Structure 1
Amino acid sequence: MKITSGWLTAIALLLSIHLYGQDITENKFGKGIINTIASDSSYSVKMNVRMQSLFTTNWGITEEDGFGDSESAFLIRRARLKFGGFAYSPRLEYKIELGLSNRDISGASPFTSDAPRYILDAVVKWNFYKNFELWAGQTKLPGNRERIISSGSLETVDRSLVNSRFNIDRDLGLQLHHETSLGGDFIMREALSVAQGEGRNITTGNLGGYQYTARLEFLPFGDFADYAGADFAREEEPKLAVGVSYDFNDDAVKTRSNMGSYMITDDGFFQTDITTFFLDAIFKYEGISALAEFAHRDAGEILAMNSDNSLTGAAVNAGSGFNVQAGYLFPSNYQVLGRYTNIDLDDTVTQAVENQYTLGLSKYISKHNLKVQADLSYLNMNLGLEDDLMFRMQLELQL
């Protein structure tokens, strides 16, 4: 058989990859593509990649017609690069997280210099004295528990409607974190934050006032072996964490405090003080995990108005939400979970009330680093509005 030069080149390339592409790393699956410390211990670098591939199907439901036509979609829900480590001293840590999917980088506007919002986190954490840490940069504010837990470490396909309606997400500013022992195993954690108040990747400066956040968290039975979703550690003793957060955004110009859309008027921006309150708890014991969360948002003025007192059509997302969920992780690393969520916005915004019931099933192949999750959710609406049935399946991979 005659072998052309093209085939010889291809074979040589494959052989070179086989012979010289066998670099061995001491890293383990899920522990980072790069995980190294400088020879003089002056810095460290850890690089992770993660992705979520999501399939969703929805059916509208009405009393008259029953199930409507389904709407289905495939989506790269998240695709991210994460870098972290320490610089100069282990007491000075850093974290950079970049979003690459369309959902991650969406939101380009004049307020972000019309640029995609690639940066999720860019923060330095300085352990300057005992248990005190000063954070500077862009990162998650110390708000609701669902948001604080990474989206890659959830025991559900995604966070609840309470988070999507009321969370305060990421912002730019300073945070002070501290941990205190109250005797025995009892731990108290405190966090204070001063932020710009308009969300992440903003380049136009502060348009309203600043945003102030405080959080207290109590762990009466000591720290968790695994703080994220699902009880992989199968805690031998009950573990409980109760947290409360309060957020005040002075002269906020967006509909969801530092989230949502800008409230633009005929002569600039509508400004109003917005407060958000969170109360949450998480419990784990012998494979059982449970989470409860309550959120409430209020504002000095809920309906945005022009200079002549006419309505602009924008409104602060004021109201309350409640979420409770519980699951059990079997020794086979299958987990079943149930969730109930209620959203009741202020009547000046809408009189519609949402009640969502979710049943979830997860298979953890390598904990949260490689997992397949599915859920079925029924959304019930009052006022004769159309209900919704939603099925989701998601593959998560983290290196």
Structure 2
Amino acid sequence: MRNLTLLLMVLFAFSLNAQVTIKQNKDDNDIKLSALPYYNFGKGIGLTSPDSLFQLNIRFRMQNRVTYIDNEEEKPAYDGQIRRLRLRFDGYVGSPKFLYAIQLSFAPGDVGEVIPGENINIIRDAVVFYRPNKNWNISFGQTKLPGNRQRVNSSGGLQLTDRSINNAKFTIDRDFGFQVHNMNEYMDELSYNFKGAVSTGEGRNVTGKSDDGVAVTAKAEIFPFGAFQKDGTYFEGDVIREQKPKLMLSGAFQQNNHARRTQGQLGVDLFEPRTMKSVLLDAMFKYNGWAAMTSYMTRATNENAVTFNPDDATDFNYAFVGEGFDYQLSYNFPSNYEIIGRFSTQKVGKDIELLAPNQKQYSLGVTKYIWEHSFKVQTELTFDALNYYDGSNKNNWYLRFQVEIGI
């Protein structure tokens, strides 16, 4: 605990001289935060006090979808739902150097099942920022950690209707703590960003589970040909149609000490804590309507991933360990119709190979961008192949139609 207190004091002292990016366009009310890379097409609804000491910007977005599901050994079914419904507020108080951001979620898939004794997951982001200059940003509160590219991006900036199977299992997602970002992005010059976080490691909206373990996250990004147009790193597909080739390479590492959940910041509770180490590597390329992404994700534990109920040896659960690769390629036609293909492989760790299958996922999608990512119509066909340790297999697939709209 003494080491953690000392680290926080150092971060605070450092913040007096430094900063993480948040860009504000002087011509409108749009505030962009590096720790919250929401996709923005318009300006939202903004209010600024006459003395310019307070600003409030309001946005919303929703995803409505219908899915036909055909899982092996199950009866085919239709599922219609509001997948995401988000309300976002951001702005500053006193000075543009002191910012805040709040994001609330209301859809059942966002909030999750109400469990007695557990907190309701309405709050996604609640964070304050100090931005002393254009290169630094320091934040305190609950928000996304600097993890893999597809997870850091808003779900509103996805090409397909959902993230990959590897994001579902290996992401480090949101947490409560401190973050420091150093941003050095230039349009046609070699650019780089460094991001770090010290957080609880317990995930979002968790109380009453304090311990002496924290999560430490570090990430580096490099742009050999300069930054993408309009923060194009933070959304999938080349909807901007980059006039020059743009490339991003990034790597992140996290050690989550004494993690209590099966996926670190996500999942159900383990019977015993496990220290988890995650490595997340990404590459993104865009040029003239073409976009390509690839990623590698892995998680390992300090000891056996399986934990047992001390009162019942037949009752157990496990940390999800293993590794996975994602490959994604797309082309956006001048008409703003886009074709997307994605292939993912997932291999579970040896500790859990008797308990969870290896998996391959194939997805093909067509998206029509009406107002870029802020108003789009998406269709997706996805096939999942599950391979179990005993040699058995299952094949599942779904066909989905989704409409996303927001301001």
**TM-score for the superposition, normalised by structure 2:** 0.84
The separation in 2 between residues aligned to 1:314 and 1:208, in whole angstroms, is 22
Change (3 A) 1:129 1:33: closer
Is 2:276 aligned against 1:251?
Answer: no
Out of 304, 311, 324, the residue aligned to residue 321 of structure 1 is: 324
Residue 302 of structure 2 is aligned to residue 300 of structure 1:
yes
Residue 296 of structure 1 aligns to which amino acid in structure 2? Answer: T
Confirm whether residue 60 of structure 1 aligns to residue 60 of structure 2: no
Q: How much does 1:305 deviate?
A: 3.1
Out of 74, 79, 85, which is 2:91 matched to? 85
In structure 2, relative to structure 1, the CA distance for the partners of 1:32 and 1:387 (3 Å cut) is same
User: Computing the radius of gyration over CA atoms, which structure comes out larger, 1 or 2?
Assistant: 1
Are 2:238 and 2:291, in contact at CA under 8 Å, matched by a contact in 1?
yes
Alignment partner, residue 39 of structure 1: 50
- Give, in angstroms, the shift of residue 106 of structure 1: 1.6
Q: Give runs of aligned pairs for residues 170-319 of structure 1, distance below 5 A.
A: 170-180=174-184, 185-207=189-211, 209-225=213-229, 226-227=232-233, 228-264=235-271, 270-301=272-303, 302-307=305-310, 310=313, 312-319=315-322
How many correspondences in the alignment? Answer: 362
Aligned to 2:6: none
Query: Structure 2 vs 1, CA of residues 27 and 132 (structure 1 numbering), >3 Å: closer, same or farther?
Result: closer
2:106 to 100, 110, 117: 100
- Is the Cα–Cα contact under 8 Å of residues 304 and 311 in structure 1 kept in the other structure? no
Residues 170, 329 of structure 1: CA spacing in aligned structure 2 closer, same or farther, 3 A cutoff?
same
**CA drift at 1:207:** 3.6
1:107, distance to aligned residue in structure 2 (A): 5.1
Query: What's the C-alpha RMSD, in Å, of the aligned pairs?
Result: 2.3
User: What SS does structure 1 have at the residue aligned with 2:167?
Assistant: helix
8 A Cα contact 2:187 2:226, kept in partner = no
SS, match of residue 206 in structure 1: coil
Q: How far 1:114 sits from its partner (Å)?
A: 3.6
Gaps of 5+ in 2: 1-27, 31-39
Give the secondary-structure state (helix, strand or coil) at the position aligned to 2:352.
Answer: coil
Distance 2:220 2:113 in 1: 31
Aligned partner of 2:158 among 123, 131, 154 = 154
**Residue identity in the other structure for 1:385:** N
Aligned equivalents of 1:358, 1:219: Cα separation in 2: 28
Aligned to 1:332: 335
Q: Residue in 2 aligned with 1:11?
A: none
Q: Give distance in 2, aligned partners of 1:50 and 1:389.
A: 27
The answer on whether the counterparts of 2:293 and 2:328 sit within 8 Å (CA) in structure 1 is yes
**CA shift at 1:188, angstroms?**
1.1
Contact 1:31 1:48 in 2 (8 A): no
- After TM superposition, give the deviation of residue 309 of structure 1 in Å: 10
Deviations 1:202-252, CA, capped at 9 Å, x for gaps: 121424511111001111111111231121221111101111000101111
Q: Tell me what 1:7 maps to.
A: none
Question: What TM-score results when the alignment is normalised by the length of structure 1?
Answer: 0.86
Separation (CA, whole Å) in 2 of partners of 1:297 and 1:208: 21
